[in-house]
Chains A and B, each alone.
Chain A
Amino acid sequence: MSGPTFSAVPLARGGEGLFPATIACVHCGQTAPTGERFCCPGCAVAFDTIERLGLGRYYRQRLLDPAARAPRPEHDTDLDLTRYTVANPDGTHTLSLAVDGLQCGACVWLIETVLARDPAVTAARVNMTSRQLKLTWSGPAEDGAKLVGLVSQLGYRLVPFDAQALAGARDIAGQKLLRALAVAGFAAGNVMLISIGLWAGDAAGWLAGMGPATRDLLHWASALIALPAIAYAGRPFFASAAAALRHGRTNMDVPISVGVVLITTMSLIQTFAHGRDTYYDSAVALLFFLLAGRVLDHRARGQARATAEQLLTLRAADVAVLCPDGTTVRRPQQAVMRGDRVIAGMGERIGVDGVVERGSAPLDTSLVTGESRPVMAAPGTAVFAGTLNLGAPLTVRATATGDATLLADCVRLIEAAEARRSRFVILADRVARFYAPAVHLTALLTFLCWYLAWATPLGESLLIACSVLIVTCPCALALAVPVVQVIATSRLFRQGILLKSGTALERLAEVDTVVFDKTGTLTEPSLKLDMDGVSKSDLTEAAALAASSRHPLARALLIASGPVVAAGDVTETPGQGLRSRDTRLGSAAFCGVSSLISTDQPELWFTRPGAPPVRFAFTEQARSDAVPTIARLRKMGLSVRIVSGDHPAAVAKIAAALGIEQWDAGCSPVEKVRTIEAMRGQGHRVLMVGDGLNDGPSLAAAHVSASPATAADVSQTVADVVFQGTNLAPVAAIVETARRARRTMRGNLALALGYNLLMVPLAVVGWVTPWLAAAAMSGSSLLVMANSFRIGRPQ
């Protein structure tokens, strides 16, 4: 990450394996202090509670995702729950809460069991898909706080919401689609069944033919099933088509709606006129195929919705403001003024941007910077809204509050950039733009030819014109893109890559430039010691001191030296250094050295009596697969750039190591956006890869964006693609898959159009019968699907 520059010292994070003393917290899995079982008292309480209730199997059965938020307890005790509590007629109360930190089935079980153990609780149900808890209890509304407390002390963050107000609470759109699909499926099955009888009876002589009365009966039965079904199941398409036409646009739903309505009307006229051919089966089957595609599409994108709502919940908590008389009052974030002193207790999120005045504590800044190791804050440290206090209470003087905070700023920039991006027109709609008029014109000309030129009766001319509409039905065309999207999305999902936007694939395929953020994206989170001019004995002596610290530089020093015997009697001054009697290891100031070397590089000084001071310099390491990934991207014809907020020297070094010629350094979030906009202005399509809060706006400004799963929440919310793991390879993989997907989509569209071109002449001359139309439609749909499944296979 190249987050806002924290004038603070990061503490260590476990897992390098050299120091068995550093272990994961038994409860939340984050790094625990040396020799401790827990990372914080909150976790100890949570573990205790779970064991006391006899629910220890939670620890054995859970699956912790290292990329997700750890179940570390925070204090959100001052949430106003009563406003959201609904009183039921039978005297019970119900509360709907969003659960943050839910990771697996064990979490669901734990929450439900803990709540069920409370005699007052009558129902507690966690929805794992939408991450929501519905809690019902008997007794006064005020008891809700106690029950919510039971769950939040286990490390889950609960945010109440108004179930009526939040449209996303229940997946209304998804349910509508499913219902429509069910109705269309029912109707398609039955009408098709009847149609087979009709077609068989049509083959007179083979099955002795079918009497006109029987045929009429079967037509009426079909109509009876098909008409209500079409009216119901067609609504998603009719509504979308109507909306598009109102705005003077056209989309794929327009030809679908026109086709379905015309086919049905014509069939109905035929039924009344005791005609021979009806096309109810085609109309219903068309809707069924299309709805199946929509349902799959909707499900594939379901996960994105939850992430997008997370940002809003962060503004919910109140802030404790310290009054001049020493008392504290809690105020909403918007009501805090600049210059107010704000107290952030342990486990609380800081509600303002400001400067620490009193106290020192480690902070979890992952929301803002994506940096997962705690950062030490001491008086004078700048802190940002949204960071979580992991230690003793801090007094912070607010420098920006409410809508002026960095967090709010980024949210605004993101919203602005996203509004711009939503103008992207998807491939299917671009095809629909010329396809719909072409089809309708052909049908009209066919009708005019038959009716005027060849003096055919009106009914028959209409019938032939409609058969043109049926064989050109956009069924295969409408399936061509979504089926590929669903398959490509699930294929990427299996590789740990989450596509959040429906149009991300199409936009990814168009990319010609990849812009990387440097810190945390191109580079490893840990540092490496420069061995130039460092003697082995100096290193060993310094490492003996460093062994008792969790500071990342001290740890990097230890990794370079190998195992050493730790020095005794070491004291650590947070943010400055270590000392053991007269030996010191730390910043230049701490060691009393006046440094003449430019300090762009992270460094440690080592001083002891009777020896010259020694300087240890550290460098960032590029990710292990950065070079091959960049080579792969270049081979695909993409140009690669770095845009970083870091010092030019640091950026130049990494750029040189990776062979990237174009780089910008020292960019603020706004400058990053400007750089991206400039590239866009030159006609480039930019894929932005970044992870910090400061990357959020540029992620949104880029043509398409990706974030690692370790990124700040804000970046993940904005990014079109979130990839897991510590490698960069997914960046190349997503572009490759997107390009294959685009090739397949185009192939599908060509297949569907080719098929139609073949059938149209037959329809124009009036040779298409209902069974031929049904076969043509299913055939082209199956062909398109079979072609799409090819991208599911490895190359």
Chain B
Amino acid sequence: MTVILYLLAASLVLGGGGLALFLWSLRAGQFEDLDGAANRILFAEDDE
């Protein structure tokens, strides 16, 4: 049953990675302006 150990570790690493990415994007301010993000794509071509 040692396979459980690997599986547990794998699921934690994958889940933890997702969590870390989410927390990073939150800290980077990607969730601060949801309205703006929705509108910005309409004007994207002029951005450099």
Contacts and interface: CB of A to CB of B under 8 A. Distances in A.
A591 B9 CA distance: 93
B43 A105 contact: yes
A129 B43 contact: no
Interface stretch (A186-194, A651-659, A662-670): A186-194
A130 B22 CA distance: 21
Contacts of B5: 217
Interface string A123-142: 00011111000000000000
Given A61-B42, A214-B1, A221 B32 contact: no
Contact of A179 (B26, B32, B36): B26
A217 B40 contact: no
Nearest to B14: A190
B40 A105 contact: yes
B6 to A, nearest CB: 12
B39 A104 contact: yes
A186 B43 contact: no
A128 B42 CA distance: 14
B36 A126 contact: yes
A221 B9 CA distance: 10
B35 to A, nearest CB: 4
A170 B32 CA distance: 8
Contacts of A193: 11
B26 A182 contact: yes
A108 B40 contact: yes
Interface residues of B, number: 26
Nearest to B9: A221
A409 B35 CA distance: 35
Interface in A204-247: 211, 214, 217-218, 221, 225
B15 A190 contact: yes
Interface string B1-19: 1001100100110011011
Given A105-B42, A108-B39, A186-B16, A129 B23 contact: no
A106 B33 CA distance: 15
Given A189-B15, A190-B12, A128 B39 contact: yes
Contact of A178 (B11, B12, B26, B39): B26
Nearest to A190: B15
Given A109-B43, A178-B31, A186 B18 contact: yes
Given A109-B46, A127-B33, A129-B33, A182 B23 contact: yes
B22 to A, nearest CB: 5
A113 interface: yes
A175 interface: yes
A183 interface: yes
Contacts of A171: 32
Contacts of B40: 105, 108-109
Contacts of A186: 15-16, 18-19
A183 B19 contact: yes
B35 A128 contact: yes
Contacts of B18: 186
The 4 closest A-B pairs by CB, nearest first: A105-B39, A128-B36, A109-B43, A186-B19
14 contacts: A61-B42, A105-B43, A108-B39, A113-B46, A128-B33, A129-B32, A130-B32, A130-B33, A170-B32, A178-B26, A178-B31, A179-B23, A186-B15, A211-B1
